[in-house]
């Protein structure tokens, strides 16, 4: 076999190759799954609220200097090393099982925490505000939240051949909602004028940059998510690069344009992170006269559906990544089993549902129903875990070029080795900055002479915040290490096939 047709090396301890995967994801499916994951509709207003008019400017900057090189790197990794579990496989091949265990744990746990402590709360708030009263902490509130969580989990369990249509519908509705909003803003502006920020307010400042960078980074990541189901793609070699390009362009437009529209319509004092987008919908829907109330009800129902499918998309992707770790003995092997009938990691899906449920109930009880506080606190935890996982995942593209140059790459980051290094260093610097600001807020502001009142910003002391945040991250890392050591002590358990191939392109 020629060098251009050589396959990737094998991981000899994995059970995953004994499991059957249905080839159900075509290019359109991958694009819509990416859109469902990348466009976090719940964070659109959070970005606007956190940075004011500058948020638009910094979103544009990050879109150009982070999203573009990030897309190039994922296009190379995803089209070349397309074994089930995507990011786990990349880190496992590049740095070994322990590093993969830790990065994958941070990558996975972001999602049940985000769903159970953020997405479900904004969905409940939307229901309470625009559809029917749903007092926080009431029996109906608990029922709503639990149904939301387990419908999202059920969508991940039923199999990609069915679940992909639900997630695709969510992606289409999400883009349609944002388009309708922007068109309505234009009608509103023509009729009433705009009364948000002035043009000069969009000028970037250092304080605004530090305030919104972690949230924007968290909002725009997710290109690698479909590769969690890489062996369920029909033609990843060709489809991944094109899907990344398409979903990237759609996603950045779906952030930039609505953020600008929100900032144009709403005064600064009225932009709230947890409810700002629907507040803006309510304001601009005035142009529809008597129909505004009915249209707002429909928009609220569709918004809840979009948030639900957003959760499902990440459950579908991240549960497979963690299940791949389990199949390889980098986590408890019990969770590495895929259902022969459904083709999904049901045990891992159920674990995600349990974690999300516990987190949701605890948050509801402990925070007395303050949705804004819950949303912000959980968002910061989710940002921290997701960005920390990328500190290990992103450099794999360089390590794998060096360790396995013989593997054929259907797509390469342009510019040769220099281009690869530039792209990797740039996105790594962004993620490093975002991770630091999320875990240690206010420290860079102090060094750079930017005013920052910690207690006014977070409502707690710095010590309380750091103890809570760091303790949470240490517990998550410890869980990953315990799972790794447990399976290592038991020893490798070869199967009939005894390998996981991080499948690469084979010459035609």
The mean pLDDT of 251-277, rounded to a whole number, is: 73
Region 80-88: mean pLDDT is: 88
Confidence of residue 498 (pLDDT cuts 50, 70, 90): very low
- Choose the weakest-confidence range: 32-36, 163-167, 275-279, 479-483: 275-279
Contact 209, 54 (CB under 8 A): yes
CA distance 41 to 198: 25
Of the listed ranges 7-11, 306-310, 444-448, the least confidently predicted one is 7-11
The pLDDT of residue 355 is above 80: yes
How far apart (Å, rounded) are the C-alpha atoms in residues 286 and 482?
Answer: 56
Q: Which of 227-241, 344-358, 360-374 has the highest mean pLDDT?
A: 344-358
Furthest-apart CA pair in the chain: how many Å? 70
Mean pLDDT (whole number) for 224-231: 83
* pLDDT value for 32: 86
Q: What is the DSSP string of 204-232?
A: --HHHHHHHHHHHHHHH--TTGGGGGGGG
3-state secondary structure of 2: coil
Mean pLDDT over the full length of the chain: 83
Give the H or E element holding residue 501. strand 500-501
Q: Is the pLDDT of residue 114 over 50?
A: yes
Q: Are 355 and 109 in contact (CB under 8 A)?
A: yes
**Residue 238 has what DSSP assignment?**
H
Percent of the chain with pLDDT over 90: 38
Say how far apart CA 217 and CA 423 lie, in whole Å.
16
Residue 270 has a pLDDT of: 62
| Ramachandran class of 19: left when φ > 0, alpha when ψ lies in -120 to 50, beta otherwise | beta
pLDDT at position 500: 41
Tokens found for residue 291: 């129909």
In the predicted structure, residue 497 carries a pLDDT above the cut 60: no
Residue 18 per-residue DSSP state: G
pLDDT tier at 194, thresholds 50, 70, 90: confident
CA distance 452 to 471: 24
Of the listed ranges 90-99, 271-280, 476-485, the least confidently predicted one is: 271-280
pLDDT confidence bin for 301, thresholds 50/70/90:
very high
Q: Taking each helix axis from N to C terminus, what angle separates 44-51 and 276-284, rounded to the nearest 10 degrees?
A: 100
pLDDT tens digit sequence for 140-154: 999 999 999 999 999
pLDDT at res. 279: 82
């Amino acid at each position: 076999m020629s060098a251009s047709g050589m396959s990737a090396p094998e991981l000899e301890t994995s059970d995953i190759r004994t499991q059957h995967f249905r080839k159900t994801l075509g290019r359109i499916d991958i694009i819509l799954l990416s859109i469902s994951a990348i466009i976090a509709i719940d964070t659109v207003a959070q970005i606007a609220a956190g940075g004011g008019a500058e948020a638009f400017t910094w979103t544009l900057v990050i879109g150009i200097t982070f999203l573009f090189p990030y897309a190039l790197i994922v296009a190379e990794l995803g089209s070349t090393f397309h074994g089930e579990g995507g990011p786990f496989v990349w880190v496992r091949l590049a740095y070994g099982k322990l590093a993969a265990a830790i990065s994958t744990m941070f990558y996975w746990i972001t999602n049940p925490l985000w769903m159970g402590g953020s997405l479900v709360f904004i969905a409940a708030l939307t229901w309470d505000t625009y559809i029917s009263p749903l007092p926080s902490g009431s029996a109906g509130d608990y029922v709503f939240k639990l149904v939301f969580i387990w419908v999202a989990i059920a969508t991940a369990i039923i199999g990609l051949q069915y679940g992909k249509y639900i997630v695709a519908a969510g992606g289409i509705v999400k883009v349609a909602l944002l388009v309708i909003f922007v068109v309505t803003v234009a009608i509103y502006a023509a009729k009433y004028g705009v009364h948000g920020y002035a043009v000069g307010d969009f000028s970037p400042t250092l304080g605004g940059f530090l305030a919104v960078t972690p949230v924007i980074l968290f909002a725009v990541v997710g290109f690698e998510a479909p590769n969690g189901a890489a062996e369920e793609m029909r033609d990843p070699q060709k489809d991944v690069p094109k899907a990344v390009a398409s979903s990237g362009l759609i996603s950045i437009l779906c952030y930039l344009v609505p953020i600008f529209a929100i900032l144009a319509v709403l005064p600064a004092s009225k932009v709230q992170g947890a409810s700002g987008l629907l507040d803006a919908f309510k304001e601009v829907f005035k142009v529809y006269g008597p129909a505004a109330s009915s249209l707002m009800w429909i928009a609220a129902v569709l918004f809840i559906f979009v948030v639900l499918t957003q959760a499902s998309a990440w459950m579908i992707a991240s549960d497979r990544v963690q299940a791949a770790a389990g199949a390889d003995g980098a986590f408890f092997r019990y969770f590495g089993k895929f259902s022969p009938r459904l083709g999904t990691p049901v045990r891992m899906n159920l674990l995600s549902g349990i974690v999300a449920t516990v987190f949701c109930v605890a948050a509801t009880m402990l925070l007395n129903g303050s949705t804004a506080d819950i949303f912000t606190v959980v968002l910061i935890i989710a940002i921290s875990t997701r960005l920390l996982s990328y500190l290990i995942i992103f450099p794999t593209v360089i390590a794998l070029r060096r360790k396995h140059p013989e593997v054929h790459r259907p797509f390469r980051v342009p510019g040769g080795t220099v281009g690869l290094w530039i792209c990797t260093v740039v996105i790594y610097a962004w993620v490093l900055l975002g991770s630091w600001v999320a875990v240690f807020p206010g420290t860079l502001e102090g060094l750079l002479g930017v005013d920052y009142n910690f207690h006014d910003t977070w409502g707690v002391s710095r010590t309380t915040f750091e103890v809570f945040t760091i303790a949470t991250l240490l517990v998550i890392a410890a869980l990953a290490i315990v799972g790794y050591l447990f399976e290592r002590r038991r020893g490798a358990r070869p199967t009939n096939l005894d390998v996981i191939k991080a499948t690469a392109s084979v010459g035609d």
